[in-house]
Structure 1
Amino acid sequence: MKNWKSILITVFSFFAISGMVLFNSCVKDPCNDLRCQNKGTCSDGFCQCPTGFEGSECEITAASRFTGTWVGNYRCNNYPITPDTVRIVLQEAPNTVRFENLGFGNTAAHSFTGTATTPQTTFVDLPSQGSTTHAYMYVDGGLLQVYLQTVDANGLPTQNCHFSGVRISN
């Protein structure tokens, strides 16, 4: 009878230890639960999103952070603060946006196009009549900041403008 007890304890111990080793040795792939969208790829449990997309599963376009109608104020150099409305529209999916209806001082940049990246966008230089305008925008939550600088043909700043506004519609 003693032998049967020893054999049963040994067999039970073998299966218990084998089961724990087998259970603990199985490593779950962290990418199994993710469904990366828009051609995103999973790496170590996180989606690596292609340019123009963001979010935990690449489900959000970067441009959506910027698009909409924004109301606020602008100021150029030391001129008075002036109320204004900025409209940013999606020009081409997923992340080409266009500014419209800017009343920034005497700059020639009343609309321009650029590539939205998160959380900021720098627009290409906008040459016009011997001067160049550099544009930059930044979104933090519901607040849009736009900076424009116009430089003359010699590279000297002629005008610095800043717009700060909140989104009133998408």
Structure 2
Amino acid sequence: MKKISILGASLLSMIAFVTVMFFHSCTKDDCQDVVCLNGGTCVSGTCECALGYEGADCTTKSNDKFAGTWVAADVCGSGAYSYNSTISSSATSANGVLINNFGGFGTNLTASATVEGSTLTIPSQDLGGILISGSGTISTDGNSLQMTYTALDSAGNTDVCSGSWVKQ
């Protein structure tokens, strides 16, 4: 009788083990058919893109949506200014942009900035003797840009500006 119950217990244990292994092997890998490009990695079936890239498979450069000619209307403590500015994608950085004629300070002056998602960040830098820094946020349709920046001239005068830029 003891042999039968030991045999029965062993058989039940074996059936339980096989059942667990069978159902465990049916778990689908959510990332099996997902291809993430440009350094992106798949997590739970969705691409997490490297800095400078976005989209379902990380093929879109984040800085591309900022590229183009913009008509800027800035309001500063010193007055209101309208000018054209051109933003281009950096050739050396996946999340970098170059802003020509930033602040209307001159078409031969170009500020550098970085992009993360819909935010543009202008680190502190000298632009023709004027120390600038600021940030901007692009609209979801990519046709308008809200900018805020500070300009400090060589005499120590600080001008705080906010701008509405429209893509041409």
**Same fold per superposition (TM over 0.5):** yes
Give the gaps of 5 or more residues in structure 2: 1-17
Specify the alignment match of 1:119 in structure 2: 118
Give the gaps of 5 or more residues in structure 1: 1-17
1:134 CA drift (Å): 1.1
Is residue 2:68 matched to residue 1:68? yes
CA RMSD of aligned residues (A): 3.1
The separation in 2 between residues aligned to 1:52 and 1:65, in whole angstroms, is 11
Specify the alignment match of 1:99 in structure 2: 99
Specify the alignment match of 1:132 in structure 2: 131
Deviates more, 1:136-145 or 1:53-62: 136-145
- Contact 1:36/1:47, CA 8 A, preserved across alignment: yes
- What percent of counterpart residues are identical? 28
TM-score under structure 2 length normalisation: 0.71
Q: Deviations over 1:99-126 (max 9, x none)?
A: 002344x69x942112222111222211
Specify the alignment match of 1:4 in structure 2: none
The separation in 2 between residues aligned to 1:129 and 1:66, in whole angstroms, is 23
Equivalent position amino acid for 2:35 in 1: R
Q: Deviations over 1:87-144 (max 9, x none)?
A: 101122422210002344x69x942112222111222211368763212122122221
1:162 CA drift (Å): 2.1
The alpha-carbon distance between structure 1 residues 96 and 23, as it changes in their structure 2 partners (threshold 3 A), is same
The alpha-carbon distance between structure 1 residues 152 and 121, as it changes in their structure 2 partners (threshold 3 A), is same
Q: Deviations over 1:20-74 (max 9, x none)?
A: x957961221112321111211111111211111112111111112111112412
The separation in 1 between residues aligned to 2:22 and 2:118, in whole angstroms, is 46
The separation in 1 between residues aligned to 2:71 and 2:153, in whole angstroms, is 29
- Contact 2:102/2:111, CA 8 A, preserved across alignment: no
- Contact 1:103/1:110, CA 8 A, preserved across alignment: no
Once the two structures are superposed, the pairs formed by residues 47-86 of structure 1 within 5 Å of their partners are: 47-77=47-77, 79=79, 81-86=80-85
TM-score under structure 1 length normalisation: 0.70
The separation in 1 between residues aligned to 2:154 and 2:85, in whole angstroms, is 28
The separation in 1 between residues aligned to 2:157 and 2:29, in whole angstroms, is 55
